[in-house]
Amino acid sequence: MNRYLDLTDEVKNALETGKPVVALESTIISHGMPYPKNVETAVSVENVIRENGAVPATIAIIGGRLKVGLTPDQLEYFGKKGTAITKVSRRDIPMIVAKGQDGATTVAATMMIASMAGIQVFATGGIGGVHRGAETTMDISADLDEFVKTPVMVICAGAKAILDLNLTMEYLETKGIPVYCYKTDELPAFYTRKSGIKAPFRADSPEELAKIWNTKNDLGIQGGFIVANPIPEEFSMDPKRINAAIDQAIAEMNKLGIHGKETTPYLLDKVQKLTGGDSLESNIRLVLNNAALAAKIAASIR
Ligand code: PSU
Ligand code: MN
């Protein structure tokens, strides 16, 4: 095992004995939700994974160490420090580790560290994608290309409408990254169950997804894939309301000239404020829903 990795005893033991393990990211804690809801959510997500028979492994960088599994105190630290912690994607890892610094890992960085530790299943809320206006800004999340390289399956609720969902799907198709929509023929759009975009593939059980994953590995095909799990009906938002908030957030962002890695955290925060916290509640519910599905898939893969 790589000498920069620190696994908790619980995660190490689970991996050694073939127990299912589900990775979780830390950018969603520090840059995706406000304190203290972020910490409460991080703890609840871990509990849901345990209730569904798997071991949670929240991933972050602390003092230059790649942490796989965090203590309650470490979760609190990431939640409380929030955006003061460096957001770490693929490009940032070598520098943060070399300097012995802390970092909150995005989907891309979490996939990399999960894979180094031997974890194949990862649950989150939403992944990064192709931003609206990318035809001129070229703002495409490093999360997407990570699926070409790293053999980790990510269970999310689709992509947020802060992105251009059509361009995101085209990009994924070009890169050969499969998106399996869970029990639906339509791509879910994070806060809502429907995007108007046809699902590239549909899957109807954790066992079916596990079988496709095992087959991919048997075939020697590199990279990961995306499972898009729609938010439960009772927690989904009114599409008009959420889309109006997103449009307003993007307009204000453009006025402020925000770009690069600040874009996604700015939009997540702004949309939560504009919806008076309702979108945050939906966000929490969908993450818990994804964690439960991820634990069941992890139990079925080899
Ligand atoms: N989308 C969400 N919630 C999140 C993120 C994205 O709905 O918390 C976070 C994830 O950590 C994701 C990152 O990996 O934002 C993407 O950032 P960027 O667009 O800068 O690649
Ligand atoms: Mn970006």
To which residue do tokens 């066992």 refer? 207
Query: Whole-angstrom Cα distance, residue 302 to residue 269?
Result: 38
CA of 202 to the centre of ligand 1 (A): 24
Residue 240: which H helix or E strand, with range? helix 239-256
90 in contact with ligand 1, CB cutoff 6 A: no
pTM: 0.98
Q: What region, left, alpha or beta, does residue 257 occupy, with left being phi > 0 and alpha being psi -120 to 50 degrees?
A: left
Which stretches in the chain have pLDDT values below 50? Answer: none
Instruction: Give whole-number Cα distances, 164 to 104, 129, 272, in Å.
Output: 25, 8, 19
Query: Whole-angstrom Cα distance, residue 81 to residue 35?
Result: 9
131 in contact with ligand 1, CB cutoff 6 A: no
Instruction: Give whole-number Cα distances, 184 to 129, 198, 294, in Å.
Output: 21, 9, 17
106 in contact with ligand 1, CB cutoff 6 A: yes
Looking at residue 161, what is its pLDDT? Answer: 86
Instruction: Give whole-number Cα distances, 45 to 37, 75, 122, 280, 290, in Å.
Output: 12, 12, 12, 15, 9
Q: Is 207 a catalytic residue?
A: no
Looking at residue 271, what is its pLDDT? Answer: 96
**Phi–psi pair at 179, nearest 5 degrees:** -120, 115
Looking at residue 1, what is its pLDDT? Answer: 72
